Structure 1
């Protein structure tokens, strides 16, 4: 493999990529409340930690270098391509950007951003009209924006796993779950029986497969 160690230490790229993805996510999510900003801030911290290892200093590779060299000899683990750990460990020796894990990561990241954007439009319209959001992605799960954030983070983990982001991931998932519980308590107070009927029909995070777009029965409006 061609030596690519110079791909690290590029802190300018850390800043640029972090800023681009954070602003991109901001344009989809458009945080308004303090709770929105907390969830968005945690997501932003995940991105900064990710790009710091992707282009700045490969801490995970450094800490695991002895084990990696012994288990997977013949790979320059300090080359930039080797940061795609799953591609390397499963034997993908060509350009990892065209490997199966990288393709899966693009699907997860793209799908997550699309979900966040679609959910925000429905939620914003519902808030403007003072009603419960039940259309679009909200017809399938009660918290589509949080599901979208988790999909994006999972996609980045598949593409470029690091010890820090792996540690952050379950913490952020737990935080989003806790925020969703708080939102549900507030929604039950505001919408009463309408929200009880909605929650009884629509799952919180995992949609019913027979109600996804294209399924035989199609979605059911609560």
Structure 2
């Protein structure tokens, strides 16, 4: 991969990805009422913001550019590999994709998927038998799927939080 290629400003990619995700949600959700359309609109706004941040230009980079420039003058915030703030702040020089923050995000995402899958299995079985789900994850959490989705979102958020910039090593 060419390290001089910009990691941001890829607006066409942001629009295509947002469009695909919104179309996918629309095909399953099929809004009928005004409330359904508002819900789809809120989801669409989230997806547009996500891909604008991911491929367009990160708001966090804009907000922190002055502080980062004065604190870490050797940073190049416009390249992908340089897009990690935590390794720069802590002075780590290794590949940022193997930093403790990325590893923790893998654990959170995997744990969230495991929690959702195991809870779904228990819920489906209880629903089939016409009973309340009270075993497995339901013995400890009221809504394990929400907990799992929260873990997944935090797992995805953690590297984004760290994906601002990284110190260049000469």
TM-score by length of 1: 0.54
Residue 101 to residue 53, structure 1, CA distance change in 2 (3 Å):
same
Q: Which residue of 1 aligns with 2:166?
A: none
Q: Which residue of 1 aligns with 2:120?
A: 120
Residues in 2 aligned to 1:44 and 1:128: alpha-carbon distance in whole angstroms: 34
Q: Which residue of 1 aligns with 2:150?
A: 150
Contact 2:108 2:155 in 1 (8 A): yes
CA pair 12-124 structure 1, distance change in 2 beyond 3 A:
farther
Q: Which has the higher contact order (CA 8 A, sep 6+)?
A: 2
Q: 1:43 to 1:72 in 2, by over 3 A?
A: farther
Q: Is the 8 A contact 1:112 1:151 kept in 2?
A: yes
Alignment of structure 1 residues 50-129 onto 2, 5 Å: 50-129=50-129
Pair 67,159 (structure 1): closer, same or farther in 2 beyond 3 Å:
same
Task: Quote how far apart the aligned CAs of 1:149 are.
Answer: 1.4
Mapping of 1:199-218 within 5 angstroms?
A: none
Equivalenced residue count is 148
Structure 1 regions of 5+ residues with no counterpart?
32-37, 163-222
The two structures have a TM-score, normalised by structure 2, of 0.68
The Cα offsets for residues 160-186 of structure 1, whole Å up to 9 and x where unpaired, read as 128xxxxxxxxxxxxxxxxxxxxxxxx
CA shift, 1:19, in A, is 5.4
How well do the aligned residues superpose, as a CA RMSD in angstroms? Answer: 3.4
